[in-house]
Amino acid sequence: MKIKFLYITFNIVLIAALLLLFFTPKLTLSDDLYTEIAMTNNIFIIALLVITIAINCIFIINRKPLKYLEEENWKGLAAYLHNKIYTQKRISARSVQLLCDSLLLTGRTEEIIDLCAFVKAENHKAYQKNLLRFASSYVLLTKPAEARSVLEEADPAVAKTDWVKWYHAFTFYLEKEFSATITELGQSISVFKDPVVSALSVYLLQQLSPINASEYQKYEQFVADKKNKLLIDFSRKKFHEHAEDQKSQLYCVIISSLIKQAEDLIYS
């Protein structure tokens, strides 16, 4: 009902705005003045009309998935998206993301792996946009080597993002390849911009420092600098809010306890 209410309210507002733009100048201005502004006014009316039509088209096209989302009917949403992606082969990055989330919420994580293979074969763009989601599904299934293989298929623009770099190092951590973890995170920590990724990197590097002290010492100053930057740029409240915002993403949900530990370390 909330989505339908918003849809109806939005239409009422847009239609009211159209009527005001059309009738107000005619009723309040002289013929000469109205003629002068008619062209500009008509452009606004046409633009608003196009927006109204576009929004209605979007709602009509997406009414089924919106209904499932509003009802939190994840099984229904998964079935709808499965048909759309596999049968109709209407594959978009957004549809793949929603299907991944629906499968996770219904405890069907193994099916995300099947989806990964299908999307990889059918739609390169959608695959790249959901690469981190697919990799984190492998992590959830305790298959870090497979997760790393997915991450290593990233296009250059995707490969250089903070989360992809961090997760690649994290797969070594899960395999207890701690020296490799230190090296990868140490080489990247100074360029990380995302505060959550930065905090996680500080946390893991400090936790692993006793295991390979000589390797850690190469990056010790980078770790200290990053920790100080976090403390300067983010209060604990601001950091926590940023971390909570990211927890809508699968790759953050599955490491939420690690994020909490990193926050405690930074702000203790």
The predicted structure's pLDDT at residue 3: 64
The predicted structure's pLDDT at residue 70: 77
**178: closest CA among 210, 143, 134?**
210
Backbone angles phi, psi at 89, to 5 degrees: 55, 40
The predicted structure's pLDDT at residue 91: 96
Residue ranges of domains in the chain: 2-61, 154-268
Q: What spatial distance separates the first Cα and last Cα of the chain, rounded to whole Å?
A: 44
pLDDT digits (tens, 9 = 90+) for 15-63: 777 677 666 666 666 666 656 666 676 777 777 778 777 877 777 777 7
pLDDT digits (tens, 9 = 90+) for 73-129: 889 999 999 999 999 999 999 999 999 989 988 989 899 999 999 999 999 999 999
Structure tokens at 158: 């995707």
Least confident of 6-10, 61-65, 192-196, 247-251: 6-10
The predicted structure's pLDDT at residue 37: 65
> Following DSSP, what letter does each residue of 184-227 receive, concatenated?
HHHHHGGG---HHHHHHHHHHHHHHTTTSHHHHHTTHHHHHHHH
Instruction: Give the ranges where the chain is alpha helix by DSSP (H).
Output: 2-28, 31-61, 63-71, 74-82, 93-105, 109-122, 124-129, 131-140, 144-151, 156-159, 162-174, 178-188, 195-208, 213-217, 220-233, 236-246, 250-253, 256-267
31 sits in the region (left: phi over 0; alpha: psi -120 to 50; else beta) called: alpha
Residue 249 has pLDDT above 80, yes or no: yes
Least confident of 3-17, 63-77, 186-200, 244-258: 3-17
pLDDT digits (tens, 9 = 90+) for 151-195: 999 999 999 999 999 999 999 999 999 999 999 999 999 999 999
CA distance 130 to 98: 10
For the entire predicted model, the pTM comes to 0.79
The angle formed by the CA atoms of residues 213, 217 and 219, to the nearest 5 degrees, is: 130
CA distance 99 to 161: 23
The predicted structure's pLDDT at residue 26: 64
Residue 6 has pLDDT above 80, yes or no: no
